Structure 1
Amino acid sequence: MRVRVKGSLLAALAFFPNVKAANDYAAILEVLKSIDNKLVESQLSPSLQNTSHSIPEGEMLFLSFYLDSNYLGEVIAIKSKSGAWLELSSFFGSFDFAIQRSVSGYDGWFINIDNKFTFDEKSLTAEIAGQTVAINEQEFYKDQDDIYIDMAVLASWFSLELTADYGAQDVTVSSKHVLPIEAKLDRTRRAKRQFVVNKYATKPWKASPYRFLSSPLMDVQLGYQKSDAREGLNYSVLGSHDFAYMRSEYYFSGRQSDVLNQSRLTLSRDDEQAQLLGTLQASQFEIGDVTATRVGGLHQNQLARGVKISNAPLDTLLDQNRISITGEVQNGWDVELYQNGVLVEQKFDSNDGRYLFENINLLVGLNEFEIILYGPQGQVEKRTQQYFIDGSALESGQGVYEVSVTQQGHRVFDDKQYQIGALGWLLSTRYEQGLSDTLSVYGATSVREGLTEGPKKVIAVGSNMTLADRFLVNASYEQDDFSQSRLELVTRAKLLQQAMRLHYKRVTKNTSVNFADKNTTTQANLGLEFSGNIMSRQYGRLNYRNALSYTQYQNQSGSKTFTNSLNYMTGRYSLGNQLSWSKSSDGILSSLGSSQVQARFGQIYSRLSVNYMLKPDRDITSYSAEFYTNLMASLQAQLTYTSSVDSDLDTTKLALSWQTDDFSMNTSMSYNSDDHWQFGIFGRFSIGYNAMHNSYFTSRRSLTQSGSTLVRVFLDGNDNGRLDEGETLVEDVKVKAVQAHRHGLTNIQGVAELTGMLANRKTDIELDEQSINDPFLVPRNSGISITPRAGYVEYVDFPLVNASEVEGTIYAQRGKVLPYAKVNLLDEDGKLVAQTESAFDGYYLFTGLKPGQYVAQVDEAQLQQKNLKATQTVMVELPNEGSVLSGVDLSLLEMDKFNGVFSSLGEFSSLSILKTYFVLINKRLKNLPGYNPFYFTDSNSGKYILAVSYSVQPSKEVNKMCEWVAQRGLSCEVKQTLIKY
């Protein structure tokens, strides 16, 4: 609304110099009145509409919970169709339930210690005071590591009545039981306060520019292994920090016999405004070990040393057909990739510090990827990524490029492991142009120099289009200089809520060993894939993926393949199965499969896996059983048994995991049927440098893959916003990163650590004033907002100042006091900073005021209602050391009034519109005899009235003034009213 109003005003102002006709000014008045009415409507509409329906699904809320008018706390929530999902940690914290986050979900008790509670996020099952209940997928939501449950479900679990007012973002609580929080409230009463936070950060923004050298952050894994055959130490380090005004990422690993056997280094810089490298207007720049620009699917490029530049928007996924999922992981970990609940691919025993799932097909609609990482000692970690595919990634006229130059076969820290031959220098480029909002085309090419044999040039073209707002069509073709080519056509759609993908691919490859002879063979593939959700009800949900493929080889009959993946979850159980049938070109039929069962029995979580063969023989090839349990809150145990039928080898492994906020320690012992044994101990922690105090801080969360902020809280004695020598650091103050859902307490150095914040998501940083132990200390400012960067430490100072109090009495005429009147305190800029109400005897009190100059005044609306006016401006100056100012009295007089007539130039609901109109017409009227412009507020309508003359009794002068005004093309009307001033 503001933009449109501003535009209307500018249009009106631009029109005024050209006005010739007298009646145009009357038209201008009508335009301004219309704008004025729209302003009033826009200000009133929020209170008139049904806010619960206007809040969109998926909007983040901060709900204030109240029990018998007592404020319990804020609970993070996300709006759903039927109500809201509540974040469990903040929900349990508001009620003082002794329930904590665990590896599998949540564990603890509520109300009394006999009421045990557990929740398993894998099976979506809760055990509540001995009863097992399950929830369906629509009642569960997960964002990063935070778990949300439907409000109605939580109310039934804990026998609560929760009544939500989404407009005010309040929830009223009642319970048939006496809640622990009620006893606490009796001891320490907390004042009711509104806490309405938008999904978006609103505090003044603090930039986080790249630095020449920032605080280093490292994720470290140290291990020792001993077996009947050998023993040794090993390590791996993932590091990140700013260097040379770029972000540096490095990885090193080694073992006792080979100190450095893996390494990687990349320097990069991102810019949302795409202002990097001058005229190149790049948004991304990488140098070091980079992956070359992807030209097509004919050739795969390695991670190699070089440089890469792109102007693609940071939040845009250009390739809407397929994606590569990659991330950092320590050595020896296994990784599983799930897409929309179905297992897609697995990577075992990572050894280069990262996982990479290449060319994963994207489906129409939501693509939710879950990456589960399994450590060698039983650790389990989860990561999620979401992509929504609904059409072309580019708008009409938008163009993006990416270019890279790499030396294939070499890395920054060259090692014999990477020197795999003279693969030459590779120049790769790609450019895509949006022809319309539904159609884009691209071209890509690569040129290689220094390669002794093989393809040196590749060219590719393609297009992405949306048809009938339903079908996504991708076409691509590429060819190199050795007559090798690749053609692919893909059509995707969502039919009956199921994702469909139809593709045709034809690849021509060179069959010569040394590429000297350009002998080629052609392979064509036609495939159809369906996936989605078959069932999602309270007794279970079933996800599936079916893929049928036919492959035709040159001069041969074709082969057929059918794969089916199912994942069923109900209550405490989860079942999965992957089955593949294939028939080769010579008619041989084979079938392989794998099944998994996951279940929870009380405090024990189990995972069973079976690999089997159906064709040509029916047999089990291997099976395994894993059992997890929490021995204590921070100590977990795992028992694993694996049997390989093919090799007749059985293995048993026992692992213990100890986790604290600062580190995790894992041990494992294994023994197999060949009398081989192994023992291992591993420690994992992340370490960062605190430049404020030249110290280090640690965390078991990864610091290199997320943002970190160190917040220092101190008493600012001289109110200059800086920590000066001798000023006191404040301990045990709660600091919150609101939109990042992180919080921490300041330590003895006055520093709170906020780690694990989502990168590139803006968040407010603020203090919880209730946590400040000294009631005479208040924050100097309301907070700031930052945009965290992965692998970067942001430093924030939060000064506290000595609070002051102001008290006084409100007097009306003849010594009478004014009870129950609103008193406002305004700062030097006229901004309202505090408001209170006088008592029955006219006494008022302000507390928790920061140093500075203020003006105290009775609320203008109440003065109008009571026909009173202020006699003077009351200034208040509060010192840095804090003070109690008494006797700040406010004196009021009854308004003068008369019943008379006046010449009215118009009525306005907005004072700013009235003043704008007055500026426009004043030049035409200021020479009129008796011209005395003024405005006042009508006591009945509340509107502002612009007048130019008045008289106690009807007079010819007032009528004459209106005649003169009308002669100048302006509207004027003689009116009679009671005027107060």
Structure 2
Amino acid sequence: MNICIALKVKIIDFIRGTLSKFIIPITLLFFLYSPKSVAQNVEKIAVSDYDELFITIYMANGFNFETDVLISDKNQLFLNVKDIFKKLKIKCISQDGDFIGFIKNENNLYKIDFKKDKITVGAQSFNISNGYVEIFGTTYIAASIISEAFGINVLFNPRSLSAKLSSTFELPFLKQLRIEETRNNISKLRGKPSIADTIIQRDYHLFSFGSVDWAFNSVQTTNNTNTNSVSLGLGTELLFGEANISLTYNDQYNFDSRQLQYNWRWIDNDKKLITQAQIGTLFSQSISQLNAPLVGVTFNNSPNTIRKASGTFTINDSTEPNWTVELYINDILVDYTVADASGLYAFKVPIVYGYTTLKLKFYGLLGEERTEERTMNTPYTFVPANTLEYNATSGILQDGQGSRFSQIGFNYGVNRFLTVGGGLEYLSSIPNTPYIPFAKMAIQPFSKMILNFEYAHNVRFKSLLNFYVTESAFLEINYSKFKADQLAVRFNALEELKIRFSMPFKAQLFSGFTKFNFNQFKYQSFIYNQFDFTFSGYYKQFNINSSSFINRVGSSPAQMNSILNLSYRFNSGLVMRPSINYNINTNHVVRFGAEIEKRISKMYFSVSYERNLQFKNDNVFVNFKYDLPFSRVGLSSSFSNNNLMFSENAQGSLAFGAGNNYIHTSNNSAVGKGGILFYPFLDLNRNGKLDPGEKKVLLSSVNVSGGVAEISGKDFTVRIFDLNAFVNYNIEFSNTSLDYISWRFKRNTYQVLVDPNQYKRIFVPIISVGEVNGMVYLLAGQEMKGQGRVTLAIYNKKKQKVAEVLSESDGYYSYLGLEPGEYSVQVDSLQMKTLDYKATPMAQPIIIRMSEEGDIVEGIDFVLQPIISEKKLVLGKDSIQKNSVPLKKIEKN
């Protein structure tokens, strides 16, 4: 009996030793290898032959994203298909271990079937039996298969660890961006507000002084004729509106009340009954001819925003050579151009809804004294469908007789292409018929054609056709017929016909445009015809402009002239412009000349010579201009008919209220403009206010739509100058402009409505965020190493998920962006359940403390272990994986 017991003990010890020597290593091997034949047939290739990388994928239009991929030892690329489809916004749903969705359109369905080792797209099938790998629940498919099946091509660059993505169709992600950009552009053109984190409305003041414009000009001649002129402009905010006043004085003339101009303007686009109102010196789109400034009041219910309708019309005219011309619609700069060698310029003007004011500003080369403004009547008015807009104006003309003027008009949008309107105008200086009722109609049958009709009783009938013959060739026909004895518009013909045609062209390196004008004026006793043709072309640095003019009065012979202007810009910046005038009737040169100019940074210098053969005199001009930070100064001299003339001029502006006793000086006008002051600061207590102990922050850059930001290194204030009043501007702050990666702007985008003649102060809070990091380990037997692609979620005190992060290939994870407070870091329980693992611990609490540089919580580690099942497991004989874990544990058959 004792022998039997001793034999049993030895057998048990032998079995235990055998189990410890063989069963445990076999069990360990089970966790290191995936059974190929039974685990859904997913692992096809040894994962030890692959490297897991995190790369950047670049797409069209500069967009990019980051994703993880596998690279084989033969440089074969495997893509995380679900992650890429998610970022490209291609529908991808997991269903029973497979992926389903649609590509290109909803009717083109696809299915990635791992059980059958194939991809089905529509009616096509693709074999993937040796083209995918799964690691820790993530499936990677060969890039070549993705390209063949879905038309998505990914070209990998191993040196830069990046890839270029292209497709045979428009990706949903790019399509969505394109649609959003188009909608944003349409919203801007229609005057709809842009989406911003913070909207700053107007600040109202009873009175607040703002800006000063000044200018001085003096002329001396050898015949003792001296002229001096001074102009001064003041800009303020008065009674919640913009108040501007300007005074011009010339010592050669007695003071006249017309030298004093003043205007008070109020705008609130949120109001319905009255949106805009003005008092003072006004501009009116009148039917009658107003020969003196109008002082009075006007108001309407049209917003000052640019609400673009479809279509454009063309403005082309002439000014001085190389002058800069700016186009303003409702006091908003929409475009600018530079006149050519002959002074010709052209604009495509967008058609906008409502009562519209067009303004052209011309900037000369010698200083502000050569700057002029032209306010133009809009040829027609469109309003949105089912919308009624009105305009009322009343005042007194400064014509020495106190003539009274009034006008009230309305426009109604019948539909998107038809607007009807009418009204009544009164001018007391018109004998017998001071009242002028009028009606008008604007039709846009399609975007390239506009018809406008206007009838003013006992004054005129006027019609206008604008038509784009091609995408750029523009035709305008304007016809007016006046009543014979009317006195509203004096010094006019009985009939006027004006035809304009312009067409740009481009052929390789040569480009330009042609312009054709024909005017006919019918008077009682004769007909006056005008014709001119202009050709302007550019080839590299060479510009040619040729203009021909034909004028004929009645049956008398036509007078024909031609002007040729050339311009060439050397690589040194020197510009040479010769010109010649030729009389075709007499077959003689009338005038010739040449000009040389040079621009160096803020300095401009020119010398010109002109010989007039008809009057036999010579003219010489010398000009100099320099832009100082606070002023633009100019000097000029000319010699003509033995008379020598000198001229000096200077102009500038001062803007007050820019913070810290700072006065902004400029060589441009500041009256009627506004500005914004941003004060970025580190908001430690997160109350949105700059409290004692909280410091200001210096930014490296700020993005402003329609403006330029000036960042002060002294007081860290961001100043934006020269903005149009009553206009919304979008300002964007980027976290990359901050010194610390742990700093974040509380709000990144601001929409600010600019106050007139004021600087709006806005505090920009910056918060400091914390970071948590740690490791995720996989414990297999006695070996513990880092494990990638483990999902960790971060919850706040209210058990709300605030962030989610994946561990990297070596097991390391980190997340930066936690505000001070209590959090819990947890391993994703659903992922653990799917993989049959458990984490120790499952969750860990952390505290992010308030810190200027950002608090860092380190060492939040987790250890993963496979759940040991009591059921027996079978190992696949041909499984050779070393760097992965079982995808699924199954029972023995």
TM-score of the superposed pair, with normalisation by structure 2:
0.63
Structure 2 residue 676 is the aligned partner of structure 1 residue 709: yes
Aligned residue number for residue 876 of structure 1: 847
Q: Name the SS of the counterpart of 2:198 in structure 1.
A: coil
Q: Which amino acid aligns with 2:452?
A: N
Aligned residue number for residue 271 of structure 1: 268
Aligned residue number for residue 750 of structure 1: 716
Report the aligned-residue RMSD: 5.3
Extract unaligned runs of 5+ from structure 1: 1-49, 53-60, 67-161, 171-196, 276-280, 349-356, 410-419, 899-939, 941-976
- Judged with a 3 Å threshold, the aligned counterparts in structure 2 of structure 1 residues 286 and 760 are, in CA distance, closer, same or farther, namely closer
CA distance in 2, matches of 1:584, 1:866: 97
**How many percent of aligned residue pairs carry the same amino acid?**
14
Aligned residue number for residue 536 of structure 2: 567
Aligned residue number for residue 202 of structure 2: 209
CA distance in 2, matches of 1:223, 1:828: 71
Structure 2 residue 452 is the aligned partner of structure 1 residue 474: yes
Q: Which amino acid aligns with 2:479?
A: Y
- Judged with a 3 Å threshold, the aligned counterparts in structure 2 of structure 1 residues 873 and 761 are, in CA distance, closer, same or farther, namely farther
Paired residue for 2:577, among 600, 604, 608?
608
Shift of 1:600: 0.2
Aligned residue number for residue 417 of structure 1: none
Residue by residue over 1:926-976, the C-alpha shift from the partner in whole angstroms, topping out at 9 and shown as x without a partner, is xxxxxxxxxxxxxx9xxxxxxxxxxxxxxxxxxxxxxxxxxxxxxxxxxxx
Residue by residue over 1:66-107, the C-alpha shift from the partner in whole angstroms, topping out at 9 and shown as x without a partner, is 9xxxxxxxxxxxxxxxxxxxxxxxxxxxxxxxxxxxxxxxxx
Q: Are the aligned partners of 1:295 and 1:445 in contact in 2 as well (CA < 8 Å)?
A: no
Superposed, 1:232-311 pairs within 5 Å as 234-255=229-250, 262-275=259-272, 281-292=273-284, 294-296=285-287, 298-300=288-290, 302-311=292-301
Shift of 1:203: 3.2
Q: Name the SS of the counterpart of 2:199 in structure 1.
A: coil
Paired residue for 1:523, among 494, 506, 515?
494
| Number of residue pairs aligned between Structure 1 and Structure 2 | 678
Structure 2 residue 623 is the aligned partner of structure 1 residue 626: no
Q: Are the aligned partners of 1:322 and 1:362 in contact in 2 as well (CA < 8 Å)?
A: yes
Q: Which amino acid aligns with 1:263?
A: L
Paired residue for 2:386, among 390, 394, 397?
397
Structure 2 residue 490 is the aligned partner of structure 1 residue 500: no
Shift of 1:259: 11
Shift of 1:255: 4.8
Shift of 1:576: 2.1
Structure 2 residue 396 is the aligned partner of structure 1 residue 407: yes
Superposed, 1:958-969 pairs within 5 Å as none
- Judged with a 3 Å threshold, the aligned counterparts in structure 2 of structure 1 residues 620 and 520 are, in CA distance, closer, same or farther, namely closer
CA distance in 1, matches of 2:369, 2:801: 53
Q: Which amino acid aligns with 1:657?
A: K
Shift of 1:728: 3.2
Aligned residue number for residue 409 of structure 2: 430
CA distance in 2, matches of 1:780, 1:267: 38
Q: Which amino acid aligns with 1:886?
A: V
Residue by residue over 1:854-904, the C-alpha shift from the partner in whole angstroms, topping out at 9 and shown as x without a partner, is 554456785566456784473533215455443562657789999xxxxxx
Paired residue for 1:312, among 289, 302, 311?
302
Structure 2 residue 538 is the aligned partner of structure 1 residue 546: no
Q: Which amino acid aligns with 1:720?
A: N
Q: Are the aligned partners of 1:268 and 1:287 in contact in 2 as well (CA < 8 Å)?
A: yes
Q: Which amino acid aligns with 2:469?
A: L
CA distance in 2, matches of 1:762, 1:860: 49
Shift of 1:654: 3.0
CA distance in 1, matches of 2:404, 2:592: 47
Moved more, 665-674 or 881-890: 881-890
Superposed, 1:124-135 pairs within 5 Å as none
CA distance in 2, matches of 1:821, 1:270: 57
Superposed, 1:175-254 pairs within 5 Å as 202-212=195-205, 213=207, 216-228=210-222, 229=224, 234-254=229-249
CA distance in 1, matches of 2:773, 2:426: 79
Shift of 1:374: 0.8
CA distance in 1, matches of 2:651, 2:778: 71
Structure 2 residue 547 is the aligned partner of structure 1 residue 578: yes
CA distance in 2, matches of 1:257, 1:295: 33
Structure label with greater radius of gyration: 2
Shift of 1:478: 0.9
CA distance in 2, matches of 1:387, 1:888: 72
CA distance in 1, matches of 2:248, 2:649: 14
Q: Are the aligned partners of 1:735 and 1:746 in contact in 2 as well (CA < 8 Å)?
A: no
- Judged with a 3 Å threshold, the aligned counterparts in structure 2 of structure 1 residues 730 and 595 are, in CA distance, closer, same or farther, namely same
Aligned residue number for residue 672 of structure 1: 639
Aligned residue number for residue 185 of structure 1: none
- Judged with a 3 Å threshold, the aligned counterparts in structure 2 of structure 1 residues 703 and 426 are, in CA distance, closer, same or farther, namely same
Aligned residue number for residue 560 of structure 2: 591
- Judged with a 3 Å threshold, the aligned counterparts in structure 2 of structure 1 residues 833 and 654 are, in CA distance, closer, same or farther, namely farther
Q: Are the aligned partners of 2:391 and 2:408 in contact in 1 as well (CA < 8 Å)?
A: yes
The higher relative CO (CA closer than 8 Å, separation ≥ 6) is in 2
Aligned residue number for residue 881 of structure 2: none
Q: Which amino acid aligns with 1:740?
A: G
Q: Are the aligned partners of 2:679 and 2:763 in contact in 1 as well (CA < 8 Å)?
A: yes
CA distance in 2, matches of 1:258, 1:520: 28
Structure 2 residue 607 is the aligned partner of structure 1 residue 639: yes
Extract unaligned runs of 5+ from structure 2: 1-57, 67-162, 175-182, 189-193, 328-334, 870-886
CA distance in 1, matches of 2:236, 2:610: 41
CA distance in 2, matches of 1:858, 1:380: 73
- Judged with a 3 Å threshold, the aligned counterparts in structure 2 of structure 1 residues 587 and 622 are, in CA distance, closer, same or farther, namely same
CA distance in 1, matches of 2:348, 2:184: 36
Q: Are the aligned partners of 2:453 and 2:463 in contact in 1 as well (CA < 8 Å)?
A: yes
Q: Which amino acid aligns with 2:467?
A: A
CA distance in 2, matches of 1:510, 1:361: 37
Residue by residue over 1:785-843, the C-alpha shift from the partner in whole angstroms, topping out at 9 and shown as x without a partner, is 32446655332222344554433444678998654545555667888776655456644
Q: Are the aligned partners of 1:597 and 1:609 in contact in 2 as well (CA < 8 Å)?
A: yes
Q: Which amino acid aligns with 2:575?
A: S
- Judged with a 3 Å threshold, the aligned counterparts in structure 2 of structure 1 residues 843 and 387 are, in CA distance, closer, same or farther, namely farther
Residue by residue over 1:347-371, the C-alpha shift from the partner in whole angstroms, topping out at 9 and shown as x without a partner, is 99xxxxxxxx9x9998999x99985
Moved more, 707-716 or 606-615: 606-615
Q: Are the aligned partners of 2:209 and 2:757 in contact in 1 as well (CA < 8 Å)?
A: no
Structure 2 residue 689 is the aligned partner of structure 1 residue 722: yes
TM-score of the superposed pair, with normalisation by structure 1:
0.58
Q: Name the SS of the counterpart of 2:200 in structure 1.
A: coil
Q: Are the aligned partners of 2:314 and 2:474 in contact in 1 as well (CA < 8 Å)?
A: no
- Judged with a 3 Å threshold, the aligned counterparts in structure 2 of structure 1 residues 283 and 319 are, in CA distance, closer, same or farther, namely farther
CA distance in 1, matches of 2:309, 2:292: 21
Q: Are the aligned partners of 2:686 and 2:767 in contact in 1 as well (CA < 8 Å)?
A: yes
Q: Are the aligned partners of 1:638 and 1:656 in contact in 2 as well (CA < 8 Å)?
A: yes
Residue by residue over 1:175-220, the C-alpha shift from the partner in whole angstroms, topping out at 9 and shown as x without a partner, is xxxxxxxxxxxxxxxxxxxxxx987854313223152145613444
Q: Are the aligned partners of 2:546 and 2:565 in contact in 1 as well (CA < 8 Å)?
A: yes
Q: Which amino acid aligns with 1:488?
A: K
CA distance in 1, matches of 2:842, 2:490: 101
Shift of 1:428: 0.4
Shift of 1:305: 1.6
- Judged with a 3 Å threshold, the aligned counterparts in structure 2 of structure 1 residues 252 and 402 are, in CA distance, closer, same or farther, namely same
